[in-house]
């Protein structure tokens, strides 16, 4: 029964996501199967959680589940009717043949880990708690929960993408189930792996490098086995996958006329603040990178509409919290110049803590050292707006997160840093892999009209799929 | 060497192969120990809370007992949970109990020391469904409650119906 319920929940999630993906690309691009699966999962979780929240204003129980299921199935049918065949590679190299089962084994291990371990502390008491309480109240979070001081520890103000995806599973299972709720987190790992592989292959024009980067993602202990890892039930890894999708799409969209990836970027961008409160910072950074690309490439001013969905989600959630009289978090002091001036002396210890974290081998292995090498490689290529956007997307969130600790209200702000910095850094880790791939590939500055490898998926190919070269591919 | 395999290209290749090998050498022991540390166990609907409560109280399947106990209490009255300041185990136990006490409203009271006598005196018994003591000593004047291991005691104040 549980398996059937899980199948129904996952099928409707993928159907909704696939329909949205096809509507966004609108016959103008061909994505690989891995990209379709990854984007379908991301858009599916985003859409279903938003629909559950929006329809929850006027429906609950079976009606709510039925309405959301109807929309999911409708989107899936629309997507199926508009679909285009996936890109099919003609022949794989031996290295790719070796790497594919390695990645499959890694994914199997992440699934295994997610079932071996319980939900992490935040996974249970910040995220799953909302799914459980909403399920017990017919699929809608009880209004009393938002102002319940006894449960303020569970951060009622956190957004609902992750808990309402868990809720969707519960509605199909017919009961809240902490064990089954964990299944969504390895699915995010799968999406992250597929996107690292796909974006790397696009930006380096080498499929083997994409597979290699995807395989190496597993070897960052913070992602695999550390506290707050991909299988722990925390929102940080899912957020990192959404951020990777936004940054990767923006890199592809930085090529002239590549509007398909700009639309995908806009969709991923909008969902960032819906996954976690920190997603607002990632949204700001990714939006700033988007503005940079729009200006550099002299895209139409209409491109700025891409930021509207995210702004709507941010404002709608803020209004909802105000209407519910939700308790506000007390982790930070008021963000003003006076607080900044009195706490600026924290800057040096914070920098030391960050450096210590970068050098924390049990948590990060050599990942940040390799990123530093890749950063040096990227410096001579600063004329490429995609590279600049990628560097900004990696560095700006780290700087902003570190600055936030200046405003920490914890008695010992370094405890606050120690408890959360590894998870915050994990949010930009997959983007770091794109930078490493760029350095390894030593890709020359892009000339979009010169597509040299017709059997490889690149951003340039995806831009204009109707060319003879791509029809051949 | 032809221009296809220039010195720069070889150095580039060696650098990245070396970095990848070093990453694997540092990571694999850590990941291996993380993967092999625990064995797969059957998971239930309350898989995580049961594990937390077993860790804190030493008893199996406590979550279900707690839920049925809270269900037997009047929903209109809140549950007061006492936890000990500076004791991570106590606050963890308190928060897990608060999680399971839904749909009751809960009040988390953090106290210094291990004797909540003063705070308990201030409670009006007519307005509270139960008192939960997390790693705290129950005063002798308070009736005995249901004990779940050494760290958790729930004193029901007014039964439903």
What CA–CA distance (Å, rounded) separates B16 from B8?
12
Which residue out of A116, A135, A367, A442 would a mutagenesis test of the B interface target, given it has the greatest number of B Cβ atoms within 10 Å?
A: A116
Q: Per residue in A432-458, pLDDT tens?
A: 999 999 999 875 555 444 434 444 455
Dihedral of alpha carbons A143, B160, A62, A65, sign: positive
Pairwise CB contact (< 8 Å): B98 & A150: yes
Q: Per residue in A203-215, pLDDT tens?
A: 888 899 999 999 9
Angle at A395 between CA A390 and CA A397, to 5 degrees: 105
What CA–CA distance (Å, rounded) separates A356 from A215?
26
pLDDT at A449 (0 to 100): 43
Pairwise CB contact (< 8 Å): A121 & B30: no
Average pLDDT over residues B63-92: 91
Angle at A226 between CA A115 and CA A286, to 5 degrees: 100
What CA–CA distance (Å, rounded) separates A395 from A414?
21
Of the candidates A116, A177, A179, the beta carbon closest to that of B38 is on A116
Question: Which residue of A lies nearest to B44 if distances are taken between CA atoms?
Answer: A179
At A453, list the tokens.
């490898």
Q: What is the dihedral of CA A429, A432, A433, A439, to 10 degrees?
A: -170
At A256, list the tokens.
């002239």
What CA–CA distance (Å, rounded) separates A215 from A233?
22
What CA–CA distance (Å, rounded) separates A324 from A317?
10
Of the candidates B23, B28, B31, the beta carbon closest to that of A370 is on B23
Of the candidates A137, A224, A442, the beta carbon closest to that of B34 is on A224
pLDDT at A139 (0 to 100): 95
* Chain B residues within an 8 Å CB radius of A226: 34
DSSP state of A305: G
pLDDT at A245 (0 to 100): 97
Q: Per residue in A12-22, pLDDT tens?
A: 999 999 999 99
CA of B23 vs chain A CAs: smallest distance (Å): 5
* Chain A residues within an 8 Å CB radius of B27: 219-221, 365
Q: How many CA atoms lie within 13 A of A308 on its CB side?
A: 7
Helix (H) or strand (E) holding B152: strand B152-156
pLDDT at A1 (0 to 100): 63
* Runs of H (alpha helix) within A344-384: 347-358, 361-364, 367-378
Pairwise CB contact (< 8 Å): A124 & B92: no
Band the pLDDT of B42: cuts 50, 70, 90: confident
Band the pLDDT of B66: cuts 50, 70, 90: very high
- Say how far residue A330 (Cα) sits from the centre of its chain: 26
What CA–CA distance (Å, rounded) separates A220 from A229?
10
pLDDT at A467 (0 to 100): 30
pLDDT at B158 (0 to 100): 61
* Chain B residues within an 8 Å CB radius of A142: 103
DSSP state of B153: E
Pairwise CB contact (< 8 Å): B52 & A118: yes
| Residues β-bridged to residue B110 | B83
Q: Which residues of chain A have pLDDT under 50?
A: 447-456, 461-473
What CA–CA distance (Å, rounded) separates B138 from B149?
14
Helices A184-204 + A33-55 axis angle, to 10: 130
At A299, list the tokens.
């895209």
How much is the ipTM here?
A: 0.91
In angstroms, the Cα distances linking A44 to A11, A24, A266, A308, A370 are 10, 13, 15, 20, 33
The answer for residues whose C-beta is within 8 angstroms of residue B28's C-beta and 6 or more apart is A219
User: What strands lie across the sheet with B79-84, from one edge to the other?
Assistant: B106-111, B79-84, B130-134, B152-156, B146-148
Reduce the DSSP state of residue A153 to 3 states and report it: helix
Band the pLDDT of B88: cuts 50, 70, 90: confident
Pairwise CB contact (< 8 Å): B52 & A112: no
Reduce the DSSP state of residue B132 to 3 states and report it: strand
Interface of B with A in 20-79 (CB under 8 A): 20, 22-24, 26-28, 30-31, 33-35, 38-41, 43-49, 51-52, 78
pLDDT at A463 (0 to 100): 42
Q: Say how many Å lie between the first and final Cα of chain B, rounded.
A: 91
Pairwise CB contact (< 8 Å): A225 & B103: no
What CA–CA distance (Å, rounded) separates A128 from A234?
9
Average pLDDT over residues B48-66: 90
Helix (H) or strand (E) holding B84: strand B79-84
Reduce the DSSP state of residue B147 to 3 states and report it: strand
* Chain B residues within an 8 Å CB radius of A440: 16
Dihedral of alpha carbons A391, A426, A45, A438, sign: positive
Which residue out of A107, A118, A122, A143 would a mutagenesis test of the B interface target, given it has the greatest number of B Cβ atoms within 10 Å?
A: A118
Pairwise CB contact (< 8 Å): A178 & B15: no
| Residues β-bridged to residue B147 | B153
DSSP state of A372: H
Burial of B42 (0-12, 13-18, 19+ CB in 10 A): exposed
Name the pairing type of β-strands B79-84 and B106-111.
parallel
Q: By the 8 A CB rule, do B104 and B77 touch?
A: yes
The answer for residues whose C-beta is within 8 angstroms of residue A70's C-beta and 6 or more apart is none
pLDDT at A211 (0 to 100): 95
* Chain A residues within an 8 Å CB radius of B51: 118
Average pLDDT over residues B73-94: 91
Of the candidates B33, B103, B108, the beta carbon closest to that of A136 is on B103
At A84, list the tokens.
């285009």
Which residue out of B26, B76, B131, B132 would a mutagenesis test of the A interface target, given it has the greatest number of A Cβ atoms within 10 Å?
A: B26
Q: By the 8 A CB rule, do A437 and A200 touch?
A: yes
Q: Which of A29-38, B63-72, B98-107 has the lowest mean pLDDT?
A: A29-38
Q: Among candidates A323, A291, A331, A322, which has minimal Cα distance to A307?
A: A291
What CA–CA distance (Å, rounded) separates A147 from A151?
8
């Amino acid at each position: 029964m549980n398996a059937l319920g899980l199948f129904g929940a996952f099928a409707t999630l993928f159907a909704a996501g696939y329909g949205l993906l096809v509507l966004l690309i609108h016959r103008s691009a061909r994505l690989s199967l891995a990209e379709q699966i990854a984007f379908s999962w991301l858009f599916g979780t985003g859409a279903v959680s938003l629909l559950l929240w929006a329809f929850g204003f006027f429906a609950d129980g079976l009606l709510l589940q039925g309405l959301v299921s109807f929309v999911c199935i409708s989107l899936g049918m629309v997507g199926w009717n508009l679909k285009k065949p996936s890109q099919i590679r003609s022949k794989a190299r031996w290295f790719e043949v070796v790497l594919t089962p390695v990645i499959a084994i890694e994914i199997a291990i992440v699934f295994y880990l997610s079932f071996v371990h319980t939900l992490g502390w935040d996974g249970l008491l910040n995220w799953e708690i909302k799914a459980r309480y909403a399920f017990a109240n017919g699929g809608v979070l009880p209004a009393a929960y938002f102002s319940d001081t006894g449960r303020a520890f569970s951060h009622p103000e956190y957004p609902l993408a992750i808990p309402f995806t868990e809720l969707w599973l519960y509605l199909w299972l017919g009961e809240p189930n902490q064990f089954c709720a964990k299944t969504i987190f390895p699915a995010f790992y799968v999406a992250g792996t597929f996107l690292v592989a796909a974006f790397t292959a696009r930006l380096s024009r080498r499929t083997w490098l994409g597979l290699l980067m995807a395989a190496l993602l597993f070897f960052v202990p913070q992602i695999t086995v550390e506290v707050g890892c991909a299988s722990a039930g925390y929102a940080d890894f899912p957020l990192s996958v959404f951020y990777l999708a936004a940054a990767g799409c923006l890199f592809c969209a930085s090529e002239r006329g590549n509007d398909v990836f700009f639309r995908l970027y806009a969709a991923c961008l909008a969902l960032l603040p819906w996954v976690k409160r920190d997603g607002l910072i990632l949204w700001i950074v990714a939006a700033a990178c988007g503005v940079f690309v729009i200006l550099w490439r002299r895209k139409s001013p209409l491109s700025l509409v891409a930021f509207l969905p995210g702004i709507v989600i941010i404002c709608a959630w803020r209004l909802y919290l105000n209407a519910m009289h939700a308790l506000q978090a007390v982790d930070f002091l008021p963000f003003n110049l006076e607080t900044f001036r009195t706490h600026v002396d924290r800057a040096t210890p914070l920098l030391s803590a960050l450096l210590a974290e970068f050098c924390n081998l049990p948590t990060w292995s050599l990942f940040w050292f390799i990123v530093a090498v890749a950063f040096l490689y990227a410096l001579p290529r600063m004329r490429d707006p995609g590279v600049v956007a990628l560097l900004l997307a990696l560095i700006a969130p780290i700087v902003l997160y570190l600055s936030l600790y200046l405003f920490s209200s914890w008695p010992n702000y370094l405890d606050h840093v120690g408890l959360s910095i590894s998870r915050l850094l994990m949010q930009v880790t997959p983007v770091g892999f794109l930078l490493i791939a760029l350095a390894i590939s030593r890709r020359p500055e892009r000339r979009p009209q010169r597509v040299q490898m017709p059997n490889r998926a690149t951003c340039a190919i995806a831009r204009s799929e109707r060319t003879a070269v791509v029809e051949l591919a | 060497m032809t221009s296809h395999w220039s010195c720069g290209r070889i150095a580039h290749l060696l650098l990245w192969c070396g970095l990848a090998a070093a990453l694997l050498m540092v990571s694999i022991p850590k990941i291996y120990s993380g993967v092999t540390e625990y064995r797969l166990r059957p998971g239930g609907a309350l898989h995580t809370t049961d594990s937390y409560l077993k860790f804190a109280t030493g008893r199996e399947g406590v979550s279900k007992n707690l839920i049925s106990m809270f269900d037997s209490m009047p929903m209109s009255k809140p549950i007061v949970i006492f936890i000990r300041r500076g004791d991570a185990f106590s606050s963890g136990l308190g928060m897990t109990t608060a999680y399971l006490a839904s749909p009751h409203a809960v009040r988390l009271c953090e106290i210094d020391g291990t004797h909540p006598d003063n705070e308990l005196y201030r409670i009006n018994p007519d307005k509270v469904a139960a008192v939960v003591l997390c790693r705290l000593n129950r005063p002798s004047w308070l009736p005995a409650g249901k004990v779940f291991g050494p760290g958790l005691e729930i004193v029901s104040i007014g039964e439903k119906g």
